[in-house]
């Protein structure tokens, strides 16, 4: 098993290019199931989750050709299966997104309950509710080790669907199922994340008729078929935010290239509130954190609110800021597992229900810690860069699922982060 060794580092300095977004790439890969001609995806991040999703497509009968390390050509005209392999499904939660695409393409889909990071229940009830509204019969069978879901429909028909919560996954899955349905589908209280907009832009290039992505009401007018397209994956706003927080924690000065600045508003606002200087260009950001930082309060919310995927990284920063800071997690009920690991590094954090109170300490100290999920792993690296001594971080397969060339990018900024294989 691989581990990361992290030593206390000087302020981060330099430039980093942000990779394509994992959370946009995965649903777009699922959406390729609906195409009938060659599809080329560019700026695809080199990640374990992307590898798994490509394996899912191949297991269904699609051809996936790697053009270079960031481009693939996919042809789904040969898809002949509707069952997602159980083992692949449990490697990654996002593989459940193929359900909607398979329903749209094949009229049926079979899968098990998804795996992924253990950060909360994240039920698929809203996905299934949306499918049923389109005329899909959904059979759920409970077994000892897994839950089997079989969705099948003779005819898909558009409908009005209200989501009780603006779930990103449910919004994406319903769109994928509705693109080829007869008539018009309207999703109210839809999620508004940029990754949904990116997927819709891709589908529209293939011939879909989808309107309102990025707002709370999305309209889908069914079409007979989708063709092919070439599409560049949007930049990863969470990767960008992670490096911004790392610069703040180490009192560094870095430039991030390949950034959509409008996607970064909540992160920019909170770092400025803490005392960082941030300069915006058309597709880049510069963050300077040479001043003493001030305590801040963070509350996670669906987009355009503060992203839950940045909560752990900000908590790591707050452990180093003199005074009392606060984090309120409203999206997932089990996303404070990194607290105990940060405490091992000397952090002073109290948790009550969904609120964490952080009292900044003068110095963190090295320890053996583990990544409890993807973003927790990134947070622990940020904290360890500011801790005396050498920290060992295990279970870094979580980090590999979501960050491309993670330690290489950090080292390019002067961080002392090294991977070791045991």
Q: Does the annotation list 122 as a binding residue?
A: yes
User: Does residue 223 come out as left (phi exceeding 0), alpha (psi in the -120 to 50 range) or beta?
Assistant: beta
Q: Does the annotation list 166 as a binding residue?
A: no
For tokens 């009550």, what's the residue? Answer: 352
Q: Are 294 and 274 in contact (CB under 8 A)?
A: yes
Report in angstroms the alpha-carbon separations of 352 from 327, 334, 357.
11, 12, 8
Q: Which of 64, 3, 68 is nearest to 30 (CA)?
A: 64
Q: Does the annotation list 283 as a binding residue?
A: no
Report in angstroms the alpha-carbon separations of 33 from 114, 122, 203, 322.
19, 24, 11, 51
The pair phi, psi for residue 198, each rounded to 5°, is -65, -45
List, by residue number, the catalytic residues.
117
For tokens 């509705």, what's the residue? Answer: 178
Radius of gyration of the chain (CA): 21
Q: Does the annotation list 93 as a binding residue?
A: yes
Residue 148 CB burial class (10 angstroms; 0-12, 13-18, ≥19):
middle
* Cross-strand bridge partners of residue 63: 75
CB atoms within 10 A of CB 247: 30
C-alpha–C-alpha distance, residues 74 and 72, integer Å? 6
C-alpha–C-alpha distance, residues 406 and 277, integer Å? 24
CB atoms within 10 A of CB 269: 13
C-alpha–C-alpha distance, residues 202 and 41, integer Å? 10
Q: Does the annotation list 126 as a binding residue?
A: yes
Q: Which of 139, 147, 62 is nearest to 106 (CA)?
A: 62
Q: Does the annotation list 331 as a binding residue?
A: yes
C-alpha–C-alpha distance, residues 215 and 217, integer Å? 6
> Quick one: DSSP state of residue 249?
H
C-alpha–C-alpha distance, residues 82 and 135, integer Å? 18
Residue 292 CB burial class (10 angstroms; 0-12, 13-18, ≥19):
exposed
Report in angstroms the alpha-carbon separations of 289 from 358, 361, 373.
20, 18, 27
Q: Which residues are annotated as a binding site?
A: 22-23, 93, 122-126, 309, 331
Q: Which residues are annotated as a binding site for UDP-N-acetyl-alpha-D-glucosamine?
A: 93, 122-126, 309, 331
Q: Which residues are annotated as a binding site for phosphoenolpyruvate?
A: 22-23
């Amino acid at each position: 098993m691989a581990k990361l060794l992290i030593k206390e580092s000087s302020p981060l300095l330099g430039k980093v290019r942000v990779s394509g977004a994992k959370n946009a790439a995965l649903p777009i890969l699922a959406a390729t199931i609906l195409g009938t001609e060659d599809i080329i995806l560019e700026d695809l991040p080199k990640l374990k989750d992307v590898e798994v999703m490509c394996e899912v497509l191949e297991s269904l009968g699609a051809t996936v050709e790697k053009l270079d390390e960031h481009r693939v050509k996919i042809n789904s005209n040969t898809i002949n299966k509707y069952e997602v392999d159980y083992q692949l499904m449990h490697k990654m939660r996002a593989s459940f997104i193929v359900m909607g695409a398979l329903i749209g393409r094949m009229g049926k889909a079979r899968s098990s309950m998804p795996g992924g990071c253990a950060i909360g229940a994240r039920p698929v009830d809203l996905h299934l509710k949306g499918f049923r509204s389109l005329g899909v019969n959904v059979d759920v069978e409970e077994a000892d080790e897994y839950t089997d879901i079989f969705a099948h429909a003779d005819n898909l028909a558009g409908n009005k669907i209200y989501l009780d919560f603006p779930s990103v996954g449910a919004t994406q899955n319903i769109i994928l199922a509705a693109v080829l349905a007869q008539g018009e589908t309207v999703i109210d209280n839809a999620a508004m994340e940029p990754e949904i907009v990116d997927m819709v832009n891709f589908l529209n290039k293939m011939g879909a008729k989808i309107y309102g992505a990025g707002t709370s009401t999305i309209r889908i007018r069914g079409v007979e078929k989708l063709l092919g397209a070439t599409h560049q994956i949007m930049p990863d706003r969470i990767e960008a935010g992670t490096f911004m927080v790392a610069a703040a924690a180490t009192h560094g000065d870095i430039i991030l290239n390949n950034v959509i600045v409008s996607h970064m508003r909540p992160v920019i606002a909170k770092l400025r509130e803490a005392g960082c200087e941030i300069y915006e260009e058309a597709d880049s950001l510069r963050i300077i954190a040479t001043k003493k930082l001030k305590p801040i309060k963070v509350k996670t919310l669906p987009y355009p609110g503060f992203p839950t995927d940045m909560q752990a990284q900000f908590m790591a920063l707050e452990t180093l800021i003199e005074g009392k800071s606060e984090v309120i997690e409203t999206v997932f009920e089990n996303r404070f597992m990194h607290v105990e690991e940060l405490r091992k590094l000397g952090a002073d954090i109290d948790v009550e229900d969904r609120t964490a109170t952080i009292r900044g300490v003068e110095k963190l100290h090295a320890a053996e810690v583990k990544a409890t999920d993807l973003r927790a792993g990134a947070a622990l690296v940020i904290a360890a860069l500011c801790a005396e001594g050498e920290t060992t971080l295990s279970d870094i397969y979580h980090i590999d699922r979501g960050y491309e060339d993670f330690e290489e990018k950090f080292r390019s900024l002067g961080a002392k982060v090294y991977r070791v294989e045991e």
